[in-house]
Amino acid sequence: MDSKVALLLLVSFLLVAAPAYFGRRGFCATMVRTEKVIHQLPRMLIRAAARARASCVPRGSPSYYPDRSSSLSKLPFSDRLCKAVGSSGGVAKCAAGGAECDYKFSYGFHRHYTEGYLGSETVTLGGDAMDGVGFGCTTMSVGNFGRSSGLVGLGRGPLSLVSQLDVGAFSYFLIPYTDPTAKPSPLLFGSLATLTGAGVQSTPLLPASRSARRRWSGFGMVFDSGTTLTYLAEPAYTAAKDAVLQQAAAAALPRAANRHGFEACFQASAGGGGSGSFPAMVLHFDGGADMALPTANYILEVGARRDGVSCWGVQRSPAAGTSIIGNIMQMN
- Reported confidence tier of residue 288, pLDDT bands at 50, 70, 90: confident
- Domain boundaries, given as residue ranges, for the chain: 6-193, 234-316
Closest CA to 230 of 268, 262, 266: 262
The answer regarding whether domain 234-316 maps to CATH 3.40.605.10 reads: no
For residue 283, count other CB atoms closer than 10 A to its CB: 15
Mean pLDDT of 30-43: 45
Long-range pairs, 251-254, Cβ under 8 A, ≥24: 251/277, 251/278, 251/279, 252/277, 253/277, 253/278
What does the pLDDT look like over 68-100, one tens digit per residue?
888 999 999 999 999 999 888 789 999 999 999
pLDDT of residue 150: 77
Can 6-193 and 234-316 be said to share one CATH topology?
yes
177 alpha-carbon distance from chain centroid = 15
Position 274 pLDDT exceeds 90: no
Position 327 pLDDT exceeds 80: yes
Please tell me which residue, 325 or 29, carries the higher pLDDT value.
325
Q: Which CATH superfamily is domain 6-193 in?
A: Acid Proteases (2.40.70.10)
Position 58 pLDDT exceeds 70: no
Q: Model's pTM, two decimal places?
A: 0.78
What does the pLDDT look like over 180-218, one tens digit per residue?
877 788 888 888 888 888 889 988 887 766 655 556 667
Question: Which of 55-64, 229-238, 243-252 has the least mean pLDDT?
Answer: 55-64
What does the pLDDT look like over 123-139, one tens digit per residue?
887 778 889 999 999 88
